[in-house]
Amino acid sequence: MVLSRRPRAAVALAAALALTLTACGGGGSGGGSTPGVTDADVLIGSTLPLTGNAAPGYSEQGPAAKAMFDYINVSGGIHGRKINLKYVDDVDFLNSSRVPDLFVASGCTCWDQPDKNPYTYGWQPDYTVEGKILGDYVAKNFAGTKVAYFYQDDDFGADGMKGLDKFIDQSLVVSRQPYQPGNTDVAAQVSAIARSGAEVVVLETIPAYTAWFKLTALKLGYNPQLVASSVGADLVTVAGLLENFAKQSGASVTCRRAATRRTRGSSCSRRCTTPTSRTCRSTATSSTRCRMRTRSRRCCRPRART
């Protein structure tokens, strides 16, 4: 077993981690004064997002790590000591220990619960507020248009839809389709939205599922106007994911920027372009061609007239 070659290093690492767990107690009988280390076992701790919006993809880490340590324990442990892993929820642990949990990078309304989590403070507009902003935009710019929602099936998606519903006429919402994080097959949801006749689709998605929605829609020949939450709207990230996912599925994506033109009456020939949206179409060879729509602005002052 590889670990048995360096048992001292493994025990030192376990002891170092155990020193951080002041809230879990420590010490032990006959094992010296090192907190968390006894003659029988070594205590290692971790805080993980076991609940809330960040849980998918992270809550599994605790059980996975425990399975590894269980394997080590069955094989004799380290220097005869068993590894005892304890993991707790981030928020509950920090609040119970009265540790301020500042600037949580999430828009979940769960962070705004002073009675339950008095030491936790979010910082960005919550998902419901952002949903209201997106809903107001859709109502003003696509009045009378059929709308569909594609959303993550958790607090993120639910909170976003609460905001959307405050501004979008419910008679125009023709489909609401959730997805489960980790399941990349969204063909059923995208097909249902396409059949509904929605011309605008609001995405309450993380970047990967913005890309999966777009790629699946292209394969179906469906090209609605997309309005995405800031969580999944970073153009560079989504473009890269779209290209990778297309390649994995045996297709290809080609993206190109619109050409820029010389500004009339300007002393320079370049213009700055800001990407605003991306349009794509499928070709007969199962590839996808994308064109970046850009908004131009002058990079230098106009040349003075004499």
Q: State the DSSP string of 256-294.
A: EEPPP-PPTTBS-S-EEEEEEEEEEEE-TTSEEEEEEEE
The confidence score (pLDDT) of residue 276 equals 41
The confidence score (pLDDT) of residue 98 equals 83
The confidence score (pLDDT) of residue 207 equals 87
From first to last of the 306 residues of the chain, give the pLDDT tens digit. 223 333 333 334 444 443 433 333 444 444 456 788 899 999 887 777 787 655 655 677 789 889 999 999 999 998 889 999 988 887 777 788 887 777 776 788 877 888 888 888 877 889 999 999 999 999 999 999 999 999 999 989 999 999 999 999 999 999 999 999 888 899 999 999 999 999 999 999 988 899 999 999 999 999 999 999 998 888 888 888 899 899 998 888 766 544 444 444 433 333 333 334 444 444 333 344 444 343 444 333 333 333
Strand pairing class (271-282; 287-298): antiparallel
* Contact criterion met (CB below 8 Å) for 43 and 26: yes
Go through the domains of the chain in sequence order and give each one's CATH number.
2-99 (3.40.50.2300), 127-254 (3.40.50.2300)
- Phi, psi of 220, deg, nearest 5: -90, -5
* Contact criterion met (CB below 8 Å) for 15 and 36: yes
The confidence score (pLDDT) of residue 55 equals 62
CA distances from 88 to 19, 63, 85, 191 (A): 16, 11, 10, 40
pTM of the shown model: 0.57
